[in-house]
Amino acid sequence: MHFLTDIDPLYTLSGFVVGLLVGQTGVGGGSLMTPLLVLVFGVHPATAVGTDLLYAAATKSVGTLAHGLHGTVNWRVTGLLAAGSVPSTILTLVVINHFETLGAGSARMLSFGLGVALVVTALALLARRRILALAARRATEMSPARVAVVTVVTGAVLGVLVTVSSVGAGAIGMTVLVILYRHLPLPQIVGSDIAHAVPLTLIAGLGHWMVGSVDWGLLIALLSGSIPGIVLGTMMSVRLPERVLRPVLAVTLLMVGGRLLF
């Protein structure tokens, strides 16, 4: 573990830049922070994932509080997602602990998982409108019971992806929720997705901490930059248009994902 005096100030700067992007656009946090730590700073994949999970839990707790105060969290949707993600997160942590204990190939396994999650997230970003258009009719024909089951399954898939890679909940989760809950206002979908991310990332992050893959000094350095970055980004009046951000972010994630896979 690093002490605060030993931490490269570039960690704080990186947290600030990512926080600024998230505050300004609402996307890109976990998808950028973990690969940044792995590829630029050379942090072990397990440590990068574990630290980023607790980083996400802290930052998204603030977002959940804000959405909760404004009444833009649908707690039923959040609960259904958590019903799938919490068990799958715990099971995935058991598997990760098994590989970490064995030692062989754990870093490669996590790098591969991160690469897959980034590629899937990028494809979800690029094809979101097409996916929504194709699924619109089928989703409206689904019964409430079936919608609930699909929501739980979605949570389970997100639990595995986020625990292994710390990314995927944003683009993938939001896309599925928009398809399933077309009758809900978008702010409620966003708020519900953020609220679900808090227990998911917290449980996964604590699990990584228990196996020794969280750098607390690094976590504090990232938060010291990201918190003012998020506040400043939220206050900024100029926002990047989503139609510009989505393809740029998607291509970036594809390149980074490919770098981790190959």
Q: Along the 262 residues of the chain, how does pLDDT read in single tens digits?
A: 444 445 678 899 988 888 777 665 555 566 778 888 888 888 888 888 889 889 888 878 877 887 788 788 899 999 999 999 999 999 998 887 776 654 445 566 767 777 787 787 777 777 777 766 666 656 566 788 989 999 999 999 999 888 887 776 666 787 788 788 888 887 788 788 888 888 999 999 999 898 888 899 899 999 888 888 877 766 664 555 656 666 777 777 777 777 777 7
> How far is it, in rounded angstroms, from Cα 82 to Cα 29?
20
Instruction: State pTM to two decimals.
Output: 0.77
Backbone angles phi, psi at 72, to 5 degrees: -110, 35
> How far is it, in rounded angstroms, from Cα 176 to Cα 101?
35
User: What are the Cα distances from residue 25, in Å, to 19, 232, 246?
Assistant: 10, 12, 10
**Short-list 115, 120, 122, CA closest to 45:** 115
